[in-house]
Amino acid sequence: MRTILFWFILISIPSCNLVEWHHKSNVKSLQKKGIEEGYFKTDSLNIHYYKGGEGPPLLFLHGFGGDALLSWKYYLKKFSKNYTVIAPDNLWFGESSATVEPSLENQAAAMHQLLKHLDIEKVMVVGQSYGGFITMEMNRQNHKIMDYMVIVNSPGPTFDKKWIDTLIKNEGAQSKEELFVFDDYKGVNRLMGFSYKHPTKLPKKLAQNVYMKYFKPFPDEKRTLLKTLHDNSDRMMDFYKSRSFPSFVIWSDSDEIFPVCEGEKLASFLKANFVVFKNVGHVSIIKKKKSGARFLKKILDARRQIAFPNQD
C-alpha cells in the first residue's frame, strides 16, 4: 500500500521524471556499496557497465528491455560481498552503443572485449533471457574464459519458434519485433502483461517515462537484433553437441514467452542441472529477487570452491 501511495504522489508532480529519478537513486545506492559506473570505449564500441566488490569475477547480462541497473541492482549489492561483480548494458541498451552491425555475435564479442579490458581471464556468467543467448554465444566464441554459465529463461539454440508465433497470435501482433520494439508507451504495458504472471498496469505518465528511457532509443538496431537472433543457431548447436560445460539452467513455471518445456529441453541438451521457480513469469529471478539471490549464491558458491579455491 505504501508503495502504491509513493508512486501516486510522484505521478502527481508534473515536472517529475519518475524513471530518471529512480535510476539516479539506484546508481547512488550502488556507489554506497562500492559499485561504480565505468565506460569502455573503442573506435566502434561504447559500453557502459557497473563494477565493484572483491573475489571471483561474476558477470550479469540482462534481457531484451531495460538495462543492467534495472535488472541486476539487487544482485550486484548482494554478490559484491564475495565476488567482483560486473553488469554491462548490452549494446544498444541503456547507455551502451556501437557502430558495428547489430547481431548476437557482435554482442558476445563486445562482452569479451570488455572482459579483456578489465583484465579478467576467467569468469562466471549469469544471463537472463536475451542475456542468456549472449552468454551461450560468448562460450561458443571463447570457452576458455567461461568457467560457469547460469542460463535464466533463455532457450538458446534449442528454441522452437512456434512458441513465439503463438505469443504473436495471442497478442494480436504481426511480428516479434512489434512485441518487443514498439513505437509508443502503450507497448510497455503489453510487454509487462506477458512478462509477469501478475502484471501491474502502469499509469500513462509512468509508462511514457519507461518508454522514453528504455525502449525508444535504438529501435532499428533492436529490431535487427531480433530478426537475426537465430542466424547462428546451427553453429551453436554443432558447438554444444560435441562438448559439455559446467552450467545451470533456471526457469519459471509461468513463462509465456519461453514455456518451461523449452527450459527442460535446453538443460537436457547442455547436460545441465535444472530448477523451476514457481508462481512467476518470464522475469523469474528478477521478480523473485530474494529467493533468486539465495539460490544463485548456493550454486555459485559451490562452483567457486572448484574453480577459484585460492580466492576463498
**Which tens digits make up the pLDDT trace of 214-231?**
999 999 999 999 999 988
pLDDT-above-90 percentage for the chain: 85
Residues 62-72, mean pLDDT to the nearest whole number? 95
Mean per-residue pLDDT of the chain: 92
- Looking at 2-11, 12-21, 86-95, 201-210, which range is the least confident one? 2-11
Q: What is the pLDDT of residue 92?
A: 98
- Which set of grid coordinates corresponds to residue 19? 524513471
Tell whether the model's pLDDT for residue 312 goes beyond 70: no
Q: What is the pLDDT of residue 243?
A: 83
Residues with Cβ within 8 Å of residue 308, at least 6 apart in sequence: 55, 56, 122, 147
Q: What is the pLDDT of residue 231?
A: 85
Q: What is the pLDDT of residue 68?
A: 98
- CB count within 10 Å of CB 258 equals 23
What pLDDT, in 10s, does the model give residues 243-269? 889 999 999 999 999 999 999 999 999
Q: Are 166 and 274 in contact (CB under 8 A)?
A: no
Dist. CA 298–CA 258, nearest whole Å: 25
Q: What is the pTM of this model?
A: 0.93
Tell whether the model's pLDDT for residue 87 goes beyond 80: yes
- Looking at 8-17, 34-43, 131-140, 205-214, which range is the least confident one? 8-17
Q: How confident is the model at residue 309 (pLDDT cuts 50, 70, 90)?
A: low
Q: Are 237 and 209 in contact (CB under 8 A)?
A: no
Q: What is the pLDDT of residue 3?
A: 45
- CB count within 10 Å of CB 248 equals 22
Q: How confident is the model at residue 17 (pLDDT cuts 50, 70, 90)?
A: confident
Q: What is the pLDDT of residue 308?
A: 65
Instruction: Annotate 32-56 with three-state secondary structure.
Output: CCCCEEEEEECCCEEEEEEEEECCC
What pLDDT, in 10s, does the model give residues 161-183? 899 999 999 999 999 999 999 99
Dist. CA 22–CA 35, nearest whole Å: 17
Tell whether the model's pLDDT for residue 16 goes beyond 60: no
Q: Are 113 and 42 in contact (CB under 8 A)?
A: yes
The CATH number given to 39-170+216-306 is: 3.40.50.1820
Q: What is the pLDDT of residue 11?
A: 46
Q: What is the pLDDT of residue 310?
A: 63
pLDDT-above-70 percentage for the chain: 93
Residue 125: closest CA among 113, 143, 100:
143
- Give the chain's end-to-end CA distance (angstroms, integer): 42
Every domain of the chain and the residues it spans: 39-170+216-306
Q: Are 195 and 281 in contact (CB under 8 A)?
A: yes
